[in-house]
């Protein structure tokens, strides 16, 4: 069975959801708020977009990840609702503006916003590992979990150094990431332990992440 054949039942499921549109885009990455990314779920138009000019294990994992953001939105999960401030402002957008140098944040707001975003992503990644197992998508659990752990921990690195993930860096350095991270996720507070994650954080900061262009 080919990768696409294994994925097809899941794609058929997505196509059956009347309130959701899925676009598989033959590009290396997309842009969200000025930052490159592999995929996005847009609540405004209820569309998942995924860049597919990447290894199957990577873009298929991104598709599952964005589907899990859709599930968070449908359920109005606490982590999803927490991403919107009382005035309707999206915390994710504020983080992007800060990373791009367009706004400044107090230390207190930086901690709050980055950790709200990290909590959202950790919940999403837990759901994604369940979807991968339930749908038998053939995605490698350790590969997905290593990149998921790195993604969650990257929020702590961003908080400390105002850097973000370079496109494709997790894929290029997957072997090293798998040496740092297990095939499962941790409790949310665990990612705040800088002493425990110092070596992994330093690797992310110096090899996988960088300053964001302000254009």
The model's pTM is 0.96
- Calpha distance 126→131 (Å, rounded): 9
Structure confidence at residue 214 (pLDDT): 65
Token pair for 94: 């504020």
Which distant-in-sequence residues (6+ apart) come within 8 Å of 183 by Cβ?
A: 141, 142, 145, 146
- Calpha distance 46→94 (Å, rounded): 21
pLDDT category, 201, cuts 50, 70, 90?
very high
For the chain, strand residue ranges (E) read 21-25, 30-32, 35-37, 39-42, 47-51, 164-165, 209-210
Is the pLDDT assigned to residue 34 strictly greater than 90? no
Structure confidence at residue 213 (pLDDT): 74
Structure confidence at residue 3 (pLDDT): 87
pLDDT category, 102, cuts 50, 70, 90?
very high
Is the pLDDT assigned to residue 33 strictly greater than 80? no
- Tell me the residue range of the domain where 116 lies: 3-210
Domain count, the chain: 1
Q: What is the pLDDT of residues 148-183, one digit of tens each?
A: 999 999 999 999 999 999 999 999 999 999 999 999
Which distant-in-sequence residues (6+ apart) come within 8 Å of 175 by Cβ?
A: none
Task: Specify if 95 maps to a domain.
Answer: yes
Classify the C-alpha dihedral 152-34-24-169 as positive or negative.
Answer: negative
Task: Specify if 215 maps to a domain.
Answer: no
Is the pLDDT assigned to residue 121 strictly greater than 90? yes
Task: Specify if 51 maps to a domain.
Answer: yes
Average pLDDT on 124-149 reads 96
Structure confidence at residue 73 (pLDDT): 98
Contact yes or no for 105/98 (Cβ under 8 A): yes
- Calpha distance 116→114 (Å, rounded): 6
Structure confidence at residue 215 (pLDDT): 56
| DSSP state letter for 212 | P
Task: Specify if 154 maps to a domain.
Answer: yes
Q: What is the pLDDT of residues 67-95, one digit of tens each?
A: 999 999 999 999 999 999 999 999 999 99
Output the average pLDDT for the chain: 95
Classify the C-alpha dihedral 84-85-88-93 as positive or negative.
Answer: negative
Task: Specify if 91 maps to a domain.
Answer: yes
Task: Specify if 203 maps to a domain.
Answer: yes
CA distances from 71 to 48, 120, 124, 161 (A): 12, 12, 9, 31
Average pLDDT on 55-61 reads 96
């Amino acid at each position: 069975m080919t990768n696409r054949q294994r994925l097809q039942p899941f794609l058929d499921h997505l196509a059956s959801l009347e309130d959701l549109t899925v676009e598989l885009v033959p590009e290396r990455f997309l842009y969200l708020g000025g930052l490159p990314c592999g995929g996005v779920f847009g609540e405004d138009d209820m569309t998942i977009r995924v860049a597919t000019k990447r290894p199957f294990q990577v873009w298929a994992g991104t598709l599952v990840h964005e589907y899990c953001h859709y599930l968070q939105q449908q359920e109005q999960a606490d982590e999803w609702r927490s991403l919107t401030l009382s005035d309707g402002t999206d915390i994710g957008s504020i983080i992007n503006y800060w990373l791009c140098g367009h706004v400044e944040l107090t230390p207190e707001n930086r901690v709050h916003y980055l950790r709200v975003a990290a909590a959202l992503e950790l919940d999403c990644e837990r759901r994604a590992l369940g979807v991968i197992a339930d749908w038998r998508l053939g995605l490698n659990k350790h590969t997905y979990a290593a990149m998921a752990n790195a993604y969650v921990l990257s929020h702590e690195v961003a908080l400390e150094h105002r850097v973000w993930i370079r496109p494709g860096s997790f894929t290029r350095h997957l072997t090293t990431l798998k040496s740092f991270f297990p095939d499962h996720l941790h409790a949310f507070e665990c990612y705040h332990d800088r002493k425990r994650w110092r070596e992994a954080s330093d690797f992310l900061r110096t090899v996988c992440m960088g300053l964001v262009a302000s254009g």
